[in-house]
Structure 1
Amino acid sequence: MRPLFSLGLGARLGNGRQYISWISLEDEVRALQFAISHDGLSGPVNLTGPAPVTNAEFTAALGRAVRRPTPLVLPGFAVRAVLGELADELLCGQRAIPAVLERAGFRFHHNTIGEALSYATARPAVA
């Protein structure tokens, strides 16, 4: 995604209201270490950041992180024409939260999508 957004080709998908759960790589590694070392965790452990965002919010945040505007919209019908049923993975959101981790006392280093993307884009892109 970063190369497209860096070229100014980042686009909101569909209506942009679908939720995306995200996590920074640093927090994911820390959360895995936390989960392994805490025997008291039970049930599903969602490895997601603490604040899910909509596709529109994610698109805007990634555009800001790479310093490019994001005025483009890829209509849902176009996504479906290219991806078929797989389009639902992009156009239907899921708002997962890390409730088990947070109840156990895990603290995120990157609490917002802006913080996570600034951290991720501060390093060179990996092909």
Structure 2
Amino acid sequence: MKKIQLIPALLMAFLMIGQLAVASETPSNKKKVITMPENVKKVIDNSCFGCHNTDSRNDDAKEELDFKTLDQLTATQKLGALKHIRETIEENEMPPKKFLEHKPEKALTQAQKELLINWVKQESTALLKK
């Protein structure tokens, strides 16, 4: 007799777990995505992505920042990465001077620096609002 009562209780438990799983997929729990306008992407592709991506041979650079995996970070980690990007650009640390000796065409112009800094500020604000 107890086995018969146990079956409905287990069934009810499975149904409740299923409802919780569906509820956890609501839009408010989705990852916050960083958007990258085409003009920003163009600058990053030219001056940053070569070193700061998963496939780079520069282990230090890809450990510091990997644009390919940026959206996989938590919102807090994304905010930290964006802050690091802004500070690095403001302090003229990237691209590194030694790298620019061999590839001067990768240098960021003042307009490109301002574009990236404004993008970082906009994305940081958007992440904080979500």
Q: One fold, TM greater than 0.5? A: no
Structure 2-normalised TM-score? 0.28
Of Structure 1 and Structure 2, the greater helix share is in 2
Higher relative CO (CA 8 A, sep ≥ 6), structure 1 or 2? 1
Structure 1-normalised TM-score? 0.29
